[in-house]
Amino acid sequence: MRSAFTLVLLAGSVLSAPAGAKEFELGPRPAYLVSQMPESDLKQTLSACVGSPVKRTLFSISHRGAPLQFPEHTEEGYRAAALMGAGMLECDVTFTSDKELVCRHSQNDLHTTTNILATDLAKKCTAGFQPASGGDPASAECRTSDLALAEFKSLRGKMDGADKSAQSVEDYLNGTSPWRTELYGATGTLMTHKESIALFRSLGVKFTPELKAPVVDMPYDGFTQADYAQKLIDEYKEADVPPEEVYPQSFNLDDVLYWIEHEPEFGKQAVYLEGRRDLDPMDPATFSPSMAELKAMGVNYIAPPLYVLLAEEDGMIVPSPYAREARAAGIDIIAWTLERSGPLSSGGGWYYQSVSDVIDGDGRMLEVVDVLAQAVGVKGIFSDWPATTSFYASCMGLE
């Protein structure tokens, strides 16, 4: 491992990274996380891997690019993730007013993830900027469906965030969490879904697009939910991407079932993003369809947040009943999202809520990864900084 993290020295170095690079850059973070671990056999194993070569693995899945430091769903963030060894990259898919598919986490997040409010396109937003007043937070709402594709492409991505106490647009846009950075936020190149396909192919990675729930009423100008789900798949078919390289995702089970029925070669790898998040979800009265029923429907992959897969038992992190039930039903599991919580010194927040009593510092992160990989048996983990999962996967010989 090189001591200097080439990709984050200059945005230009990211843009010049060779397609399908065989050498990967992890930077200092994995070694730092290992150094923070309590003494254990796992720490000794991981310490021996610090500085060793890293391979690309499907276990390491890029979540929105590399948004710990780069604006999410931008070319720069995607290239950074690939250079950190991620084997699969995610374009969250939504659509513009002319029904073109683009990469955004939500149809209505342009006001926090781009510079739209500082441009003339702000006047096209569903709701313009309103300063904080009388106890009400500052607000705005700007949708991809407010813009045609050419207008969308004229925007610049920024680090996601907003200052809800702001009195001005400038202050509102300056809301990045203190544990992230603005160092690489000046060159956020937005992408269409088609452009992401071409880029990911050139980087030698696989694809996991997520069909995002529209905030506009559907059908939208004759564009139905089925049309939307089909168009996502059609753009891979048009690009001659083999179905086995694509893992389409949705929180909407009907989308997943649509792919299973109408595009079975893609549907057999469709990922049902699990929205049922009760910490004890195996009660049949509250957990339907069951894991066995999902498997019978043809669902082969399920993806809940980290905490749903974990439980605490006698001071140890162990698989949850949910995780055991999914494995028993023969459903493969993908977890989300690592490196999205900031420092873990106070329990880890939302993503670690089922094991917060055990989470007392950043060194616990790789323990969580180890339980997910070895005890839960997840196939991959989404991460906002794929260097962490790439390091673990390469050290442990995962694919």
pLDDT averages per 10-residue partition of the chain, 399 residues: 34 42 88 98 98 96 98 98 98 98 98 98 98 97 98 98 98 96 94 98 98 98 98 99 98 98 98 84 76 96 96 96 94 98 96 97 98 98 98 97
Q: Which of 138, 177, 141, 132 is nearest to 159 (CA)?
A: 177
Q: Which two tokens stand for residue 180?
A: 């992230």
- Strand 380-383 versus strand 316-319 pairing type: unpaired
CB 109 within 8 A of CB 86: no
Domains of the chain, CATH where assigned = 6-91+191-396 (3.20.20.190), 106-173 (no CATH)
What pLDDT is recorded for position 3? 34
Residue 58 dihedral angles phi and psi, to the nearest 5°: -75, -20
Q: Rounded to whole angstroms, how far apart are CA atoms 367 and 171?
A: 38
Amino acid code (one letter) for 275: G
Whole-angstrom Cα Rg for the chain: 21
**Which SS3 state, helix, strand or coil, does residue 179 take?**
coil
Q: Which two tokens stand for residue 364?
A: 């616990």
What pLDDT is recorded for position 278? 75
What pLDDT is recorded for position 21? 52
> Is-above-0.85 flag for pTM?
yes
The string over 205-236, giving b where at least 16 C-beta atoms fall within 10 Å of a residue's C-beta and e elsewhere, is bbbbbbbbebebeeebeeeebebbbbbbbebb
Long-range contacts of 364-368 (CB under 8 A, 24+ apart): 364/37, 365/33, 365/338, 365/339, 366/33, 366/34, 366/37, 366/42, 366/46, 366/392, 367/37, 367/40, 367/42, 367/317, 368/306, 368/310, 368/317, 368/338
Q: Which two tokens stand for residue 382?
A: 């989404």
What pLDDT is recorded for position 281? 67
Q: Rounded to whole angstroms, how far apart are CA atoms 9 and 16?
A: 12
What pLDDT is recorded for position 287? 81
Q: Which of 376, 211, 212, 213 is nearest to 306 (CA)?
A: 376
Q: Rounded to whole angstroms, how far apart are CA atoms 114 and 71?
A: 9
